[in-house]
Chain A
């Protein structure tokens, strides 16, 4: 899958490949140490952040967490319980 910036797609795909192997071989087996893909993630993020700035993507909106916070929408069942 492509990155939002064409120039980041190669870096993204290298990171994705590393992550997917890590997820299967390590994480799912209970090994939570994720340092192995950290260098690839770092260079990919540098490229991505630059592109997001150029494309004027709303950083604030992206950074905002909703899941597990007050902003999370609740089903009618959940809101009745609350």
Chain B
């Protein structure tokens, strides 16, 4: 049996920004487990950019799992398609090497948010499969936990990279992109305007907090089987 979960994450960056950031995702402060990254294939076909990257990550199996998995590192193949016309970036990653013990697959589709065209929604699907007799379930559960943890790291790390590539001038690094009023526009302000600014800042802060809460919650499964 295959374990499955899916989740959605909203990035407050345009699809074009997210697509550019995708290639610069590593290194970031949350990616110490990523050791190497190589492009092994790349081609433009039918107006789509098709790439394949090979990643090496550290691999720490649980104590009871060492009898199945002795390797210190795991290799990951990441296939991706950037479709400029449809504005989608699809990524598909799978482990190679000890696939007979556990297969972990993750597919993420990034596309512009329907709510806000300046935002990008990432829809993530993950599968964990194991056929080791007697240990399949334990290995699956372990694999799922690790994928959820890595999902949060991925969201925080990716946001870090996007924020450094595309800093948000006025609203601060966590500020949502929705604000249309320019907070520091004028140095001559009436008391009323100042109050308005303060209110806006407070609401931005609240939004940013809600957003970071959302980011951590976004890796929880919304469906599983």
A and B bind:
yes
In the assembled complex, the CB of B104 is this many whole angstroms from the nearest CB of chain A, namely: 10
In the assembled complex, the CB of B126 is this many whole angstroms from the nearest CB of chain A, namely: 9
Tell me the total A-B contact number using a CB cutoff of 8 A. Answer: 93
CA distance in complex: A72, B94 (Å): 10
- Inter-subunit contact A57/B75 (CB<8 Å): yes
Provide the main secondary structure of the chain B interface. strand
Within 8 A of A (CB), among B204-222: none
A2 on interface, CB distance cutoff 8 Å? yes
CA distance in complex: A25, B26 (Å): 21
CA distance in complex: A52, B36 (Å): 12
Q: Which residues of B contact A33 (CB under 8 A)?
A: 44
- Number of residues on chain A facing chain B (CB within 8 A): 36
Give 10 closest A-B pairs by Cβ, nearest first: A67-B92, A67-B79, A61-B96, A4-B36, A1-B37, A73-B127, A1-B26, A32-B44, A2-B36, A73-B105
Question: Can you name 8 A-B pairs with beta carbons within 8 Å?
Answer: A4-B54, A19-B23, A28-B16, A58-B96, A62-B40, A73-B125, A75-B6, A76-B225
